[in-house]
């Protein structure tokens, strides 16, 4: 398949940022990267939504990116989150991603200030011209309050350095329009929609569930790539209740951090204003994980 960033096909994992007593837990972060390398992930994505980037200081953000690059040590690709609603700040973060040795930058649409489509295009153009590493456009209007319209993404595709889209609109029509009109590599931003997106030409997922079950997500993608739709659907149907029941409990990354705590892989600690699951929600989570066969 002729896609612009085929080397990012497969599973990329939106890493959580582990905390212990209010500080970033760097040994736990190293263990997370090792876990993904051993599972066979294509790429890890630190300091995105799942990585609680809004509550990391600038110094922490930069140190986490550097720590993940060092932990990866070339064994797995690193796509660092570097978006902001300020173009100047996004430029600084994206330049840092490149300087630190990240393989690519994951750039969310400018949020809160709601620029028009020309403003969004100008924002990404400034970033694409500032660095040599590939840029993945992260479109998640549920978080940013502004959709990057497919026509705008097709205009972005004229920039050689914009190579990927993390598609989290939930719209197969929008994804289809991008896939039909460009050679951009489209990655799912919703775990539950990975298989449908693959079916229309998507090349993988930037996954939350992959933090705990990377091999299962890889198995689903591999089955699809091998043309075994029956196996791919079987994996999708196994993963789907987990996506729906676990990730639907509360705002990401609250449920995934709680699941990692249950599985002994994280303290579960969050930064305010995010707060832990209630006792009832945690009981529901444990039941979902047990039904999945995880505990």
User: How far is residue 36's CA from residue 251's CA, in Å, rounded to a whole number?
Assistant: 23
In the set 77, 138, 257, 292, the catalytic residue is 138
For residue 117, the surrounding DSSP H or E stretch is helix 117-130
3-state SS record for 49-89: CCCCHHHCCHHHHHHHHHHHHHHHCCCCEEEEECCCCCHHH
User: How far is residue 82's CA from residue 92's CA, in Å, rounded to a whole number?
Assistant: 8
**145 — alpha (psi -120 to 50), left (phi > 0) or beta?**
left
In the residue annotation, 138 being an active-site residue is answered as yes
Q: How far is CA 171 from the centre of its chain?
A: 17
The residue to which tokens 């043309």 are assigned: 227
User: How far is residue 82's CA from residue 97's CA, in Å, rounded to a whole number?
Assistant: 7
In the set 146, 166, 257, 292, the catalytic residue is 166
Q: How far is CA 157 from the centre of its chain?
A: 20
User: How far is residue 99's CA from residue 59's CA, in Å, rounded to a whole number?
Assistant: 15
Cβ-in-10-Å burial (0-12, 13-18, 19+) of 245 comes to: middle
Q: Report yes or no: 216 and 235 within 8 Å, Cβ to Cβ.
A: yes
DSSP 3-state of 188: strand
User: How far is residue 43's CA from residue 75's CA, in Å, rounded to a whole number?
Assistant: 9
Catalytic residues: 138, 166
């Amino acid at each position: 398949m002729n896609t612009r960033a085929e080397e990012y096909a497969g599973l990329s994992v939106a890493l959580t940022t582990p905390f212990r007593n209010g500080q970033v837990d760097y040994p736990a972060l190293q263990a997370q990267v090792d876990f993904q390398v051993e599972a066979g992930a294509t790429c890890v994505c630190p300091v995105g939504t799942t990585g609680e980037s809004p509550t990391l200081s600038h110094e922490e953000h930069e140190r986490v990116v550097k720590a993940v690059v060092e932990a990866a040590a070339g064994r797995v690709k690193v796509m660092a989150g570097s978006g902001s609603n300020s173009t100047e700040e996004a430029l600084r973060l994206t330049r840092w991603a490149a300087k630190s040795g990240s393989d690519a930058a994951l750039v969310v649409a400018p949020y809160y200030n709601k620029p028009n489509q020309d403003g969004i295009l100008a924002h990404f153009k400034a970033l694409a011209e500032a660095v040599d590493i590939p840029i993945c456009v992260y479109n998640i209007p549920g978080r940013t309050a502004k959709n990057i319209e497919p026509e705008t993404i097709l205009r972005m595709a004229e920039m050689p350095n914009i190579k990927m889209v993390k598609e989290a609109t939930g719209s197969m029509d929008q994804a289809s329009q991008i896939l039909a009109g460009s050679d951009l590599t489209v990655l799912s931003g919703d775990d539950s929609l990975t298989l449908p997106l693959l079916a229309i030409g998507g090349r993988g997922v930037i996954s939350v569930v992959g933090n705990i079950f990377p091999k299962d997500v890889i198995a689903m993608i591999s089955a699809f790539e091998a043309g075994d739709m029956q196996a791919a659907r079987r994996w999708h149907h196994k993963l789907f209740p987990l996506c729906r029941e676990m990730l639907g409990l509360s705002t990401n990354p609250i449920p995934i951090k709680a699941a990692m705590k249950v599985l002994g892989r994280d303290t579960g600690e969050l930064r305010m204003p995010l707060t832990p699951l209630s006792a009832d929600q945690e009981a529901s989570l444990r039941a979902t994980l047990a039904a999945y066969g995880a505990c």
